[in-house]
Amino acid sequence: MAQASPDGTAGWLGLDGARVLVLGAGGIGAECIRGYLDAGAHVLAVDRDAARLDELRVRHPELHGRTADLTEPGAGADVVRQALETLGGLDVLLHCVGVNDRRPILEFTEDEWDRVLRVNLSTAFRAAQAAGRHMVAAGAGRIVFLSSVSGHLAHRDHGPYAASKGGLNQMMRVMAAEWAAHGVTVNAVAPGYIETPLTAAHLARPGVREGLVRLVPAGRLGTPQEVVGPVLFLSSPHAAFMTGHVMYVDGGRTLV
């Protein structure tokens, strides 16, 4: 058994020895990778940024890393195949690859629209389909997508991003319905306004942070660490009877 981590996750989660593939190693993804490792899991992290993976592996030498552009045809199946070979199997897939482009819908070209959906939605489909084939055959597995409150709320200047996350939620539900009888659960975690390196520039714009905080009943923005617990729970044996669910981690944002 793994030694208990400082926050006590390793013992009760039941992820000791789990074989986990994480797609996206920045921001929330990086924190989830640390959470899986603390819980005793074996992790293969995939990101297009080699320096980002190298930084993680300096602090976590047990982490397996692979650089890949998941928008390339066949890349999703390739990284799942590598996870099976490197980890000796695959119990959990976490997809947290995403980009945003904050502009009014009237300003987007077709190519710009397609790019956001390709990164956020198509990469999720390709990797989850490949993982699902293995998990359905094995009779067990956990798939977790990182969604967003934007998949539920009509945020201005979030057209393609909101469409991609809404589509992700519905794709997740269909996968969950099709694979439930095979012991495979498929869920999503939908963060609200989270402070990450990827949102730092936007939050630094005059009035942006204050405006967003006013929309959150909790009266503050969230941290990447606060998303980790829900992700690990949905990845664990404790969530065996939960599937097709979008779990909002938003400080109450979707309540108002």
143 three-state secondary structure: strand
Rg, Å, the chain Cα set:
17
Please answer whether residues 253 and 217 qualify as being in contact, where contact means their C-beta atoms are separated by less than 8 angstroms.
yes
Whether residue 6 has pLDDT greater than 60 = no
Whose CA is closest to 62, among 92, 82, 39? 39
pLDDT tens for residues 190-206? 999 898 877 888 889 99
Cβ-count burial of 172 within 10 angstroms (0-12 exposed, 13-18 middle, 19+ buried)? buried
For residue 21, what are the β-bridge partners?
Answer: 44, 93
Domains in the chain with CATH codes? 9-203+218-250 (3.40.50.720)
> What percentage of residues in the chain have a pLDDT greater than 90?
90
**Confidence label for 10 from pLDDT (cuts 50, 70 and 90):** low
Give the other-Cβ count within 10 Å of 133's Cβ: 13
| Known catalytic membership, residue 248 | no
Please answer whether residues 246 and 169 qualify as being in contact, where contact means their C-beta atoms are separated by less than 8 angstroms.
yes
Helix orientation angle between 28-38 and 225-235, rounded to the nearest 10 degrees: 50
**Catalytic position from the list 36, 161, 193, 248:** 161
Whether residue 240 has pLDDT greater than 50 = yes
pLDDT tens for residues 77-90? 999 999 999 999 99
